[in-house]
Structure 1
Amino acid sequence: MSGYSDSDRARWAAEPPKRRDRTAFERDRARVLHSAALRRLAAKTQVADPGSDDFLRTRLTHSLECAQVGRELGKSLGCDPDLVETACLCHDIGHPPFGHNGESALDAVAQACGGFEGNAQSLRILTRLEPKSFGPEGRSVGLNLTRASLDAVMKYPWRRGEPPSLGKRDGSGGPYGIYDDDADVAAWVREDAPEGRLCLEAQVMDWADDVAYSVHDLEDALVAGHVDFALLGDPAERRQVAKTAAKLYCDADIAELEETFARLLDEPYWPDRYDGTNRALAALKNLTSTLIGRFCLAAEDATRQAYGPGALTRYAADLIVPRRQRLECALLKGVTAHYVWISHEASRARQRELILELAELLAGGAPDTLDPPFRAAWEDAGDDVARLRAVVDQIASLTDTSAIALYGRLRDAA
């Protein structure tokens, strides 16, 4: 593991030597792969509801594809591939039922205990909630991953409200990755890290997520019939997509986005249509693989031009992604947001209502309504704030299907 120190391989709770000859980062990857939190992503929303179509992706399949993209990009730059893959597998592990839609609802529920954020929940799961290891004082330390692996997962290594300059363009609070009551382990992870700066492995994970998300969600939207290739050929439709991308994903004016979109669609690998045949599926798969290669090679080449050859790890370099590819990626995400999310707002509203009502039912009947791990946390809590966090942790652990089922049982019993 050239480029990584003993401090990078250290664990929050010291462990005795292992007999099998595996690297510390191989062990981290194995722990995540065997975790219940990762398995639950199989029944959490990506674009469509899990189970609505055998072809469409879930949070788990997205995470696996992100891991493949990130592993190869990281390896090409000299990062430890197991470390990058671990970060990619974990990047969505804190997402609650119904994806970002459920995240916003659960944040409203959790205001009295510090809010809810999927990235902060990921750190909480990995260092506290996923049962694997306990420290000498009897506290759960989650999967007890290495410092470098946890640092690579931390896309937003700060608490809510800091740094304020990183808030969203609409003036609302920006994303964050640390809850106040997880500040101690976060401080240990970031012990020698430059303030506010992401390690290279986290930057690779973040770009791999954007690449997989933008390309594969577009593929799913096309197969599901939400997007028609013919629509993308209409300048008026492209302008609407550009407006959505500018609002949600990037700082660019509409004219620049329209020009970038037109140039991207002029590339020869875009199919003319999609009709569900094997030939059309093959053409679509060629599109996705070509786009992934385009985005990753652009980042690899730009980073190598800046830093030269040799292994790049941790804080020795920053990932450089050319502006054109960043805008192209934002536009592809804009396609899915414009044609899928906006058109499904009615069902999304019902999902948010379910989370809010489920929180009331769980809190009203606690601790009896909680599963054993969260019941114990509720009973051990010293105040209402900690008890609310136990309820929030319970809801966040649920899948889409188990949230619906639990809501139904509690509603019927009320």
Structure 2
Amino acid sequence: MASWAADWRRSRGRQFPEAPSPTRSEFQRDRDRIIHSTAFRRLGYKTQVFVPHEGDHYRTRLTHTIEVAQIARSLARALGLDDDLAEALALAHDLGHTPFGHTGEDALGEVMEAYRGFDHNAQALRIVTRLERHYAQYDGLNLTWETLEGLVKHNGPLLDKDGRPVARYAKRGIPIAILEFDERIPLDLSSFASAEAQAAAVADDIAYNAHDIDDGLRAGLFELADLREIAFIDALIAEIDALHPGLDQPRLVHELTRRVITRFIEDVIVEGHGRLVAAGVRSSDEVRAHGATLVGFSPAMSEVERQLKAFLFVHMYRHPRVVKVRNEALAVVHNLFVRLFSQPGDMPSEWAARALAAPDDMRRARLVCDYIAGMTDRYALAEHSRLFGQAPSLR
């Protein structure tokens, strides 16, 4: 590994000390614990963009996560990073997502506004430090500091050097779950995360841009001709046509998707290596202290990514078919929260007992939020049917 990689032998450790494994590195253990967690299994039945019953071949939150992990490993190996840490972070990055994708997150954000809000990164931290309850000695997965740090900060620092929230937290503040954990185990919220965390973050961008093109075309939300308004895509399609004239559309779309992924990965490898060398960083701590992202797209590819996101926002995420399902899903999550907050006895016995014993509305709301956030799409619909006698078809 390169000097700028995270070294598991120098990990800052775990919240609860454990004897080292004779067969695995500390970051391999983190990866394995994430894979075996209940929250990870639930990702198979959580929406990415399309709810699962719309088709067997659309991405779910789980298949998206696996694709992110593959890309993160590729980037990490090429850049001399610890690919086990990059993979662990990729596998964990969406654990805090709600049913119905970002729609569920928006709904919980609205109903939790009076109770310090909802944030999927903060929810992921709650899951791996509190809500997973399988181990005899502790709650959570007892992950290393480096994995927890990357989970919270993979998109960059949460605070500036003066301690003020930045980026998306500038208006609403740092989520309470992160602040409470940071008080016990400081995560250095004003610094960047490791290069491995940065690789996982950019892998997420690469994966969803590429697979949303694939899924959007498969769903008929837009056509290849529409995509050709983006010069980058037009050039790739022309390249495929020259190499494989007359190719049927399913193969053409696959060739396009794999080229999009490859071009993005190659760009990050060249750009990231150049930045790391130019920065002169000699350790993971120096990466954190550098003050800027070191693993990312070149300016030219950043512009391509901006164009792709803008196209997908208009043609996919705000397509009337998707918006219809989104509105119905918003109502499901909203209805569930209102009902379970006012009647917590309607939850399963363990959750009901804890909610009824909550000392105030703030903690009751958080318990109800935890319960709903952990639901899969189908479980949320089943609970809505049980409590209200019906649920939308989401079609």
Same fold (TM over 0.5): yes
Shift of 1:112: 2.4
Instruction: Report if the CA contact (8 A) 1:32-1:90 is conserved.
Output: yes
**Hey, what's the Cα distance between the residues in 2 that align with 1:402 and 1:70?**
31
| Residue of structure 2 equivalent to 1:119 | 121
Deviations 1:56-87 (A, max 9, x none): 11000000000000011012112211111110
Instruction: Report if the CA contact (8 A) 2:72-2:86 is conserved.
Output: yes
| Residue of structure 1 equivalent to 2:327 | 349
Instruction: Report if the CA contact (8 A) 2:227-2:233 is conserved.
Output: no
Deviations 1:337-369 (A, max 9, x none): 212221232221121111111111111221x22
**Hey, what's the Cα distance between the residues in 2 that align with 1:120 and 1:17?**
28
**Hey, what's the Cα distance between the residues in 2 that align with 1:67 and 1:312?**
25
| Residue of structure 2 equivalent to 1:4 | 7
| Residue of structure 2 equivalent to 1:241 | none
Q: Percent identity?
A: 33
Shift of 1:216: 0.7
Greater Cα shift, 193-202 or 140-149: 193-202
| Residue of structure 1 equivalent to 2:150 | 152
| Residue of structure 1 equivalent to 2:220 | 225
**Hey, what's the Cα distance between the residues in 2 that align with 1:126 and 1:188?**
15
**Hey, what's the Cα distance between the residues in 2 that align with 1:95 and 1:78?**
30
Instruction: Report if the CA contact (8 A) 2:83-2:196 is conserved.
Output: no
Match of 1:382 among 359, 380, 388: 359
**Hey, what's the Cα distance between the residues in 2 that align with 1:279 and 1:205?**
33
1:146-225, aligned counterparts within 5 Å? 146-154=144-152, 155=154, 158=158, 163-167=164-168, 173=171, 179-187=175-183, 190-191=186-187, 193=188, 195-225=190-220
Deviations 1:26-72 (A, max 9, x none): 11111111111011111111121112112111000000000000011
| Residue of structure 2 equivalent to 1:256 | none
Shift of 1:8: 2.1
| Residue of structure 1 equivalent to 2:291 | none
**Hey, what's the Cα distance between the residues in 2 that align with 1:360 and 1:281?**
44
Instruction: Report if the CA contact (8 A) 1:107-1:115 is conserved.
Output: yes
Greater Cα shift, 297-306 or 61-70: 297-306
Give the 3 Å change call, closer, same or farther, for CA 195–287 of structure 1 in structure 2: same
| Residue of structure 2 equivalent to 1:319 | 295
| Residue of structure 2 equivalent to 1:110 | 112
- 2:54 aligns to what SS in structure 1? coil
**Hey, what's the Cα distance between the residues in 2 that align with 1:404 and 1:86?**
30
* Residue identity opposite 1:410 in structure 2: L
Shift of 1:262: 2.3
**Hey, what's the Cα distance between the residues in 2 that align with 1:298 and 1:286?**
18
Instruction: Report if the CA contact (8 A) 1:302-1:320 is conserved.
Output: yes
Instruction: Report if the CA contact (8 A) 1:200-1:315 is conserved.
Output: no
* Residue identity opposite 2:268 in structure 1: A
**Hey, what's the Cα distance between the residues in 2 that align with 1:23 and 1:387?**
39
| Residue of structure 1 equivalent to 2:277 | 308
Instruction: Report if the CA contact (8 A) 1:151-1:189 is conserved.
Output: no
* Residue identity opposite 1:341 in structure 2: Y
Name the Cα RMSD after superposition: 2.8
The reply to whether residue 131 of structure 1 matches residue 133 of structure 2 is yes
| Residue of structure 2 equivalent to 1:267 | 236
- 1:267 aligns to what SS in structure 2? helix
Give the 3 Å change call, closer, same or farther, for CA 324–40 of structure 1 in structure 2: same
Structure 2 alignment gaps of length 5 or more? 288-293, 391-395
| Residue of structure 2 equivalent to 1:361 | 339
Match of 1:336 among 312, 315, 319: 312
Instruction: Report if the CA contact (8 A) 2:47-2:100 is conserved.
Output: yes
Give the 3 Å change call, closer, same or farther, for CA 23–226 of structure 1 in structure 2: same
**Hey, what's the Cα distance between the residues in 2 that align with 1:201 and 1:10?**
17
1:31-110, aligned counterparts within 5 Å? 31-110=33-112
Structure 1 alignment gaps of length 5 or more? 239-260
Give the 3 Å change call, closer, same or farther, for CA 311–286 of structure 1 in structure 2: farther
The reply to whether residue 296 of structure 1 matches residue 265 of structure 2 is yes
* Residue identity opposite 2:58 in structure 1: L
**Hey, what's the Cα distance between the residues in 2 that align with 1:388 and 1:99?**
20
* Residue identity opposite 1:90 in structure 2: A
Shift of 1:164: 4.4
Give the 3 Å change call, closer, same or farther, for CA 264–52 of structure 1 in structure 2: closer
Deviations 1:9-35 (A, max 9, x none): 5111112444x4111111111111111
Give the 3 Å change call, closer, same or farther, for CA 79–361 of structure 1 in structure 2: same
**Hey, what's the Cα distance between the residues in 1 that align with 2:221 and 2:298?**
29
Shift of 1:320: 3.8
Shift of 1:213: 0.5
